[in-house]
Structure 1
Amino acid sequence: MDKPRLWTRDFISIAITNFLVFTTFFYLLVTLPIYTLQELHGAKTEAGLITTVFLIASILTRPFAGKWIEKAGKYVVFISSLIVLFAASALYFIPQSLIGLLFLRFFHGIGFGMATTATGAIVADLIPESRKGEGMGYYGLTLNLAMAIGPFLGLTVIQQTATSLMFSINACCAFFALVAGLFVKLPKKTFMPEREIERKTSMKIGDYLERSAIPVSLVSAFFGLIYSGIISFVSLYAKEQNLVEAASYFFVVYAVVLLISRPFTGKWFDIFGANLIIYPAILCFAVGTFLLSVSNTSLLFLASAALIGVGWGTVFPSFQTIAIQVAPPKKRALATATFLSIYDFGFGIGSFIFGIAAANIDYGSIYFYCSFLIIIGIGVYYLLHGRLSSHSIVKKVKKEVA
C-alpha cells in the first residue's frame, strides 16, 4: 500500500513560509542590538529590551490568535499575520529613536505571534496522519535552518554594508514569506456543530494553558532565560573579543551540530528515557557556555558553539516532547502552546535582564555566571520533573490512550 504524499505543494509552501518567518526573527535578533548601540546610541540595557518587547507582544497575541483562528479561520489569520510581518519589516527604515523602534518591535511581535500560531495549526492539517512524526520532523528542520542562516546573514550584512541594505533584506524575506503563504491551500474540513463552537469559544483559563505541561514549561523558561543572553549578545561579545569574523559562523556551527545530533538524541530519548539524555545534555550546555566565557580564539569560540548546539539542541526538544507526553492526547496541541508561551516569556525576560547586567559587567563574566546557572538548572529540572520516572509517564500515556 502506497504512503500518502507528504511533499505536496501546500506542505512545501508552509515549510518555506515558516523558514522565512524564523529567518527574519533570528536575522533581527542578532543585528538590532548592534544597530541600537551603534546607530541609535542606546545603552546595553535598551539593546536587550528590543528583544523583550518583541517576545512579550508575541506571547500576549498567541491566546487571542487561537480565538481568531476559531472565529475567522486558519487561512485568514495566517495571511493576515504575514501581511503584518511584511508591513512591520518595511517600516524599519523609519524609526530614528529607540522609542519608535520599540513601538515597531511590539507591532512586529504581534504579527510573529499570529504567524507562529497559525502555521503550527495549518501544518498539522496538511501532514497525513500516518506520516505525522516524519512530517513534523521535516517541518521542525526549517526552524533549525533559519537559526543558522538568519544570524549568519545578519552578522555578515551588518559588518560589511549599510543598515539600509540590512533592512531591505529583512523586508524581502518577509515579502517572500507572504508570497509562499499565498500558495498554501487548506484541506476542506467539516464544520463543528454549533454547540461545540460555543464550548470552544468560552473564555476559560483551561482554553489557554494545559496544567500538566506547566512544570516542564517552567524548566524550559528557566533555561530559555539563560539561552537568551547567549543568542542575543554573542555578536556583541565577539566584537568585544575581536572575533567578529568567527561570530558569523557561530550559529552555522551551532545549527550543523544540532542537525547532526538530533536524530541520535531523539532515538536515545525514546530508548533510554528523558533523564538519561537530559542530564548529560545540560552538562554539555554548561561546559559550552563556560568555554564561551573564556573564548579568546576563533577555535575555542566555535568549539563552544558546537557544545551549546549539542546541549541546548537536545535539551529544548526533549522538554517539548515531555510537555506533549504528560498531557492527555486530546490536549497535546494546547500543551505545545503552553510550552512555547511560557518558554518565550522566560526568553524575553532574559534578554532584558542580561541587557541590564551587561551595563555593569562584561559579556565574558555574564557567560561565566550563566554556566553555573545552567548547573543549578539541573536541580530545577529534578524538582519539577526529573524525579518522576520516565516509565510512569509512558504508563500514563498508554492508560490514557486505552
Structure 2
Amino acid sequence: MQQAAKPKLWTKDFIIVSSVNFFITLIFYLLMVTIGVYAVEEYGATTSQAGLITGIFIIGSLIGRLLIGRFINAIGRKNTLLIGLVFFTLATLLYFVDFGVPFLLANRLIHGFTMGMAGTASGTIVAQIIPITRKAEGIGYFSMSATLATAIGPFIGLSLSQHTSFQVILIFCVALGIIGVLTALFIYVPKLEISTKTAEVKGFKLSSFIEPNAVPVAIITLLVAFCYSSVLSYINFYAIEIDLVSTASFFFLVYAVAVLVSRPFTGRLMDSKGANYIMYPTFIIFAGGMLLLSTATNSFTLLLSGILIGLGFGNMQSSTQAIAVKLTPPHRMGLATSTFFIALDAGLGFGPYLLGYIIPKTGYSTLYVILGITVLVTTVLYYFLHGKKEHAAMEELKKSKLA
C-alpha cells in the first residue's frame, strides 16, 4: 500500500524532457570537441580564434539563460522549449554555410543562446512535473541525461572526426535536433496558475533576471564548477605530462559510471534526510579526488580520482540544482533554474580561461592541489550560505513529526 501511494516519477513527460535534454547536451559536446579543429582546417582560423569559436557558445548560453529566465512564464514553458529547440536546430544547419570566421563566430553565439533557452525551459519543466516529495531524486535522474551526454558526446565526436568529415558530424547533429523537436511536441506541461500577487515584477530589476533565493547556492555552484573546469579542460594536457594519455580516454567514462550508479541513492537520501546529508560528504569526496589526481602516477590512481570526482562533483551538481528549485516559489522556478545554470556555465566556461594564467606558474599537479583545498574551503562557505539554514529546517521538521 505504501508503494502504491508513492508519487510516480517516471512519467511519459519526465522521460520526454530528459530525452530532449540528452539530445541538446549531446550536440553541444559533439561540436565542442570538433569545431575548433574544423575552424583551423577549413577556415584557416588561428589558434586563438579557434578557442574563441569554441568558447563563445558558452557566452551565448549564458545570455540565453539570463534573458529567458525572466520571460519563460510569459512565453509559456513548453513554447519556450519548442522555440529554443527549433532555432537550436536551425543554427546547427547554418554551420553548412561558409561566410568566414566572423559568421561562424556569430552563429556559435546564436547557437549557444538557443541552447540556453531550450536548456532553461527543460530544467524548469522537469522541476515543475517532478512530485515534491521526490524532487531531489527526480532532478538527480534528470541530470543524468546530461551526464551521459558529457561522456558519450566527446567520444562520438572524436571518433567520427577520425573516420569521416565534419559535414557528416553536422548531419548527425541536425538529425538529433529534429528528433528533439518532434519528441518535445508530445510533452504535456500543466498550466501554472500565477496570481497578481505572485506575478513577476516588470522592469529591469535584478530580481527580474536572477532568483534571489537561489543566489547563495548558485555561488557554491560557481566555485565548485570553476574547480571542476580544470579537470574538464586540462586532463588531457596533464595526462600527456604524466604519460597516461591512453588511460585518460577512460577518465570521463568512469566519471559517468560513478555518477550513474550513485545518483539514484543520493537523490532519495536528499529527499528524506536533507541536503546537508549529501552535500558535506560530496565536498570531501570531490576534494579527495582532486588531491588524488594531483599525485597520479599510474592508471589506477588516475581512474580512481575520476570515480571520486564523479561521486563528488557529479552529485553536488544535481544536489545544488535541487536546492535552488526547492527554495523557490513555483512561479519563479524558471528564474531559479536559469540562475543555477548561469552559475554552472560561468564556472565551467570562464574557469579554463582564468586557470590558463595560473598553470604556467604552478603546473598541473600543484594546480589540482590548490583547487582541492579550494573545494574544502568552499565547504565552510556552504555552511554559512545554506547548510546552517538547512540544518535548522530539518530539526524543525523532526520536531513537527514527533509532536
Which TM-score band applies after superposition, normalised by the shorter structure? Answer: 0.7 to 0.9
From 168, 172, 183, give the equivalent of 1:165.
Answer: 168
Corresponding residue of 1:109: 112
Q: Deviations over 1:281-300 (max 9, x none)?
A: 22322232233344454333
* Alpha-carbon distance change, 244 to 42 in structure 1, aligned in 2, over 3 angstroms: farther
Q: CA RMSD in A?
A: 3.8
Q: Using the TM superposition, name which of 340-349 and 362-371 deviates more.
A: 362-371
CA distance in 1 between counterparts of 2:153 and 2:392 reads 40
CA distance in 2 between counterparts of 1:268 and 1:216 reads 19
Q: Shift of residue 364 of structure 1? A: 4.9
Q: Shift of residue 230 of structure 1? A: 1.6
Letter in 1 for 2:283: I
Q: Shift of residue 248 of structure 1? A: 3.5
Q: Using the TM superposition, name which of 327-336 and 55-64 deviates more.
A: 327-336
CA distance in 2 between counterparts of 1:46 and 1:377 reads 34
TM-score calculated relative to the size of structure 2: 0.80
Q: Deviations over 1:161-215 (max 9, x none)?
A: 444434343333223222322333545x38767x579x43612432332323212
Identity, % of aligned positions: 37
Corresponding residue of 2:257: 256
Q: Using the TM superposition, name which of 331-340 and 313-322 deviates more.
A: 331-340
Letter in 1 for 2:113: I
* Superposition pairs of residues 116-131 of structure 1, within 5 angstroms: 116-124=119-127, 126=129
> Is 2:149 the counterpart of 1:146?
yes
* Superposition pairs of residues 1-400 of structure 1, within 5 angstroms: 7=10, 9-32=12-35, 42-43=46-47, 49-50=52-53, 52-94=55-97, 99-124=102-127, 126=129, 135-187=138-190, 189=191, 199-200=199-200, 202-203=202-203, 204-238=205-239, 243-269=244-270, 273-275=274-276, 277-327=278-328, 331=332, 334-357=335-358, 363-364=364-365, 366-386=367-387, 388=388, 390-394=390-394
Letter in 2 for 1:103: A
Letter in 2 for 1:256: V
Q: Which runs of 5+ in 1 are unaligned?
A: none
SS at match of 1:292: helix
CA distance in 2 between counterparts of 1:293 and 1:37 reads 32
> Would you say the 8 A contact 1:48–1:352 is kept in 2?
no
* Alpha-carbon distance change, 46 to 363 in structure 1, aligned in 2, over 3 angstroms: farther
TM-score calculated relative to the size of structure 1: 0.80
Q: Shift of residue 154 of structure 1? A: 2.5
CA distance in 1 between counterparts of 2:142 and 2:59 reads 25
Q: Deviations over 1:367-388 (max 9, x none)?
A: 44433433343343345344x2
Q: Using the TM superposition, name which of 166-175 and 305-314 deviates more.
A: 166-175
Q: Shift of residue 87 of structure 1? A: 1.9
SS at match of 1:202: coil
Q: Shift of residue 23 of structure 1? A: 1.3
Q: Which runs of 5+ in 2 are unaligned?
A: none
> Would you say the 8 A contact 1:51–1:351 is kept in 2?
no
SS at match of 2:250: helix
